[in-house]
């Protein structure tokens, strides 16, 4: 027999203690399903407030793992079940980044088991989920804005909203006019960034309602009957307590805080992180490697445009693999590309293994302070209004499960935020001496920047360079003497 109630907690006929409950007419065609298809869910804390909230812009902000994404997805699903013909959007800065995040939770935890809407296109290429009552969840990325913006919605869920620009956000609000659901709403979740971030400022200005999500809101982590951490919760919180730098206040306590004594304080996701584009064939390309086994092994692929701007466009960031297996992966990812050079950390044995496996490297200039200064210089906005260093979104080849689990940085973007100067006995940052943790991709970047900006020790022997320069001079001389050359006729 089919049930007409979608979740164990009915969103719209809220519980009696909900004094702010809004009476909403029940539509004629609720989607139905049988008891064995049911996936129970009950929201707590900020997730419960989100469930009832009807404001036009609502943000669930909080530390890692509090249940923010689950709450947003449950609300979307419940709305689609309840209002036939509802249109919802799940969106993130890039479509690619939804595949292994929101869509996994939606398919495995939220949508009733065995529903036909789960059949059809694979998760990676899926564009929508069709409900039996005509409701639909569209899936999109702001890297292809025309697809997302060409239609109208009742509810939009933005995952990891700090990745967006404010104009992305404002454009999305204009798409909320499908009118099937009695309220139209943009909901979003995020871990915090710094207090200068536009999203924090928007919440402070009262334009967006912000709900503070806490670990105690997640019943997987917190046992409400005894007011204690569950065993999973204890282990999870222990990991978060072990975080370093600015990641700890943000991911453990949900604070919008800037790294104190940040080495790269000019780093700004809004400025330095850019959408992917096809790199022109004429641009120079290099690679930079920092070795590691328990710590990540990092390889950065960097393109350099005609004005000398650097773009990190691909990244390998992996623990617990041999150098030989990394070499295979680097070849696979590099394909037919050609590089001016590959610069690597000094480890002789690891460099020899790379060489045996077809990757010749030059030795990095590891001077820390000049290297940091070179990167800092590139992060600054130049006279033309642009910095000279960018990272392309979704550059990471694949995410290291072990690092995700340990809540450690999984990519260069995540390292930038927490890289800070160590502190002297007086508590002040010691500028010369960065804390040597979570700096693997940043080390590789430093080697690359030094190699590009401060010229490598020449790879040519002095004799070869001399003969090359002599040949070039002779060639110029011949061109000069040519009586048909233009220069004879120029005033």
Ligand X SMILES: Nc1ncnc2c1ncn2[C@@H]1O[C@H](COP(=O)(O)OP(=O)(O)OP(=O)(O)O)[C@@H](O)[C@H]1O
The residues of the shown chain that bind Mg ion, judged by CB under 5 A, are 69
Considering the complex, state which of residue 175 and residue 252 has its C-beta at the smaller distance from ligand X: 252
Phi, psi at 91, each rounded to 5°: -140, 145
3-state SS assignment for residue 375: helix
Q: How far is the CB of 69 from ligand X (least distance, A)?
A: 3
Distance CA 30, CA 15 (A): 20
Could you list the beta-strand ranges (E) of 305-374. Answer: 310-318, 342-344, 362-363
Interacting residue with ligand X among 7, 12, 31, 41 (CB under 6 A)? 41
Closest CA to 93 of 391, 384, 310, 382: 391
For 317-329, the DSSP string reads EESS--HHHHHHH
68 binds ligand X (CB under 6 A): yes
| Span near ligand X by CB under 6 A; candidates 60-68, 293-301, 376-384, 385-393 | 60-68
Closest approach, Cβ 69 to Mg ion, in A, equals 3
> Judged by CB under 6 A, which stretch of 215-223, 309-317, 384-392, 426-434 contacts ligand X?
215-223
255 three-state secondary structure: coil
Question: Residue 411, interface with ligand X (CB under 6 A)?
Answer: no
Which residue reads 């404002």 in tokens? 170
| Shortest reach from residue 284's CB to ligand X, in Å | 37
Q: Name the residue with tokens 């233009």.
A: 486
What residue number has its CB nearest to ligand X? 67
Q: How far is the CB of 67 from ligand X (least distance, A)?
A: 3
In sign, the C-alpha dihedral spanning 328, 334, 339, 343 is negative
Check residue 67 for interaction with ligand X (CB under 6 A): yes
Taking the alpha carbons at both ends of the chain, their separation in whole angstroms is 95
**Nearest-approach distance from CB 165 to ligand X, in angstroms:** 20
Q: Is 409 in the site for ligand X (CB under 6 A)?
A: no
Secondary structure of 190-243 as H, E, C letters: ECCCCCCCHHHHHHHCCCCEEEECCHHHCCCCEECCCCEECHHHHHHHHHHHCC
286 and 341 Cβ atoms separated by less than 8 Å: yes
- Reduced to 3 states (helix: H, G, I; strand: E, B; else coil), residue 138 is strand
Contact segment (CB under 6 A) with ligand X among 87-95, 164-172, 217-225, 327-335 equals 217-225
The answer to whether residue 250 forms part of the interface with ligand X (CB under 6 A) is no
Stretch that binds ligand X, among 38-46, 117-125, 223-231, 416-424 (CB under 6 A): 38-46
Q: Rule CB under 6 A: is residue 64 a binding residue for ligand X?
A: yes
Using the minimum distance from each CB to Mg ion, give the nearer residue, 161 or 344. Answer: 161
Phi and psi at 401, nearest 5°, equal -55, -40
Q: Which is nearer to ligand X, 215 or 285 (CB)?
A: 215
Give the nearest distance from C-beta 65 to ligand X in angstroms. Answer: 4
Which region among 41-49, 76-84, 89-97, 436-444 touches ligand X (by CB under 6 A)?
41-49
Closer by beta carbon to ligand X, 92 or else 202: 92
219 makes contact with ligand X (CB under 6 A): yes
> Which positions from 170 through 209 interact with ligand X, judged by CB under 6 A?
189, 191
Of 62 and 140, nearer to ligand X (C-beta) is 62
Residue 118 dihedral angles phi and psi, to the nearest 5°: -85, -15
3-state class of 53 per DSSP? coil
Residue 344: helix, strand or coil by DSSP?
strand
Count interface residues toward ligand X (CB under 6 A): 17
Instruction: Kindly tell me which residue out of 10, 42, 235, 482 binds ligand X, with binding defined by CB under 6 A.
Output: 42
Closest distance of CB 124 from Mg ion, Å: 19
Write out the residues near ligand X by the rule CB under 6 A: 41-43, 64-70, 105, 109, 189, 191, 218-220
């Amino acid at each position: 027999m089919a049930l007409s109630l979608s979740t164990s907690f009915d969103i719209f006929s809220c519980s009696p203690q909900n004094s702010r409950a809004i009476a909403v007419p029940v539509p004629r065609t609720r989607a139905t399903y049988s008891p064995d298809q049911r996936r129970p869910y009950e929201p707590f804390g900020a997730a419960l407030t989100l469930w009832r909230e009807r404001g036009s812009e609502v943000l669930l902000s909080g530390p890692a793992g509090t249940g923010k994404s689950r709450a947003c997805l449950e609300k979307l699903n419940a709305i689609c079940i309840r209002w036939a013909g509802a249109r919802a959007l799940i969106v993130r800065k890039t479509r690619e980044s939804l595949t292994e995040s929101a869509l996994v939770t939606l398919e495995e935890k939220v949508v009733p088991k065995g529903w036909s809407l789960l059949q059809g296109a694979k998760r990676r290429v899926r564009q929508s989920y069709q409900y039996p009552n005509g409701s639909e969840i569209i899936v999109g990325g702001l890297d292809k804005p025309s697809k997302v913006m060409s239609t109208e919605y009742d509810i939009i869920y933005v995952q990891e909203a700090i990745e967006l620009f404010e104009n992305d956000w404002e454009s999305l609000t204009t798409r909320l006019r499908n009118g099937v659901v009695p309220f139209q709403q943009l909901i979003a979740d995020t871990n915090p960034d710094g207090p200068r971030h536009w999203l924090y400022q928007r919440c402070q200005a009262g334009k967006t309602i912000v709900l503070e999500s806490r670990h105690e809101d997640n019943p997987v982590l917190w046992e409400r009957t005894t007011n204690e951490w569950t065993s999973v919760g204890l282990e999870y919180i222990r990991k978060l307590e072990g975080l370093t730098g600015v990641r700890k206040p943000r991911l453990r306590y949900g604070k919008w805080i800037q790294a104190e004594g940040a080495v790269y304080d000019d780093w700004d996701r809004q400025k330095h992180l850019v959408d992917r584009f096809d790199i022109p064939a004429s641009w120079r390309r290099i690679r930079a490697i920092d070795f590691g086994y328990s710590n990540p092994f990092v390889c950065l692929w960097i393109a350099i445009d005609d004005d000398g701007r650097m773009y990190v466009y691909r990244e390998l960031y992996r623990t617990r693999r041999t150098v030989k297996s990394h070499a295979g992966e680097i070849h696979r990812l590099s394909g037919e590309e050609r590089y001016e050079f590959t610069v690597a950390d000094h480890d002789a044995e690891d460099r020899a293994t790379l060489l045996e496996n077809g990757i010749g490297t030059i030795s990095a200039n590891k001077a820390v302070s000049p290297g940091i200064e070179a990167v800092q210089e590139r992060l600054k906005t130049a006279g033309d209004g642009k910095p000279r260093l960018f990272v392309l979104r979704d550059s990471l080849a694949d995410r290291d499960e072990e690092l995700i689990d340990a809540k450690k940085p999984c990519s260069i973007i995540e390292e930038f935020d927490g890289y800070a100067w160590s502190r002297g006995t007086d508590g002040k940052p010691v500028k010369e001496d960065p804390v040597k943790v979570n700096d693997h991709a940043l080390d590789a970047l430093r080697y690359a920047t030094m190699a590009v900006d401060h010229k490598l020790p020449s790879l040519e022997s002095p004799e070869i360079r001399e003969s090359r320069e002599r040949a070039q001079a002779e060639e110029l001389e011949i061109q000069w003497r040519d009586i048909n050359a233009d220069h004879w006729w120029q005033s």
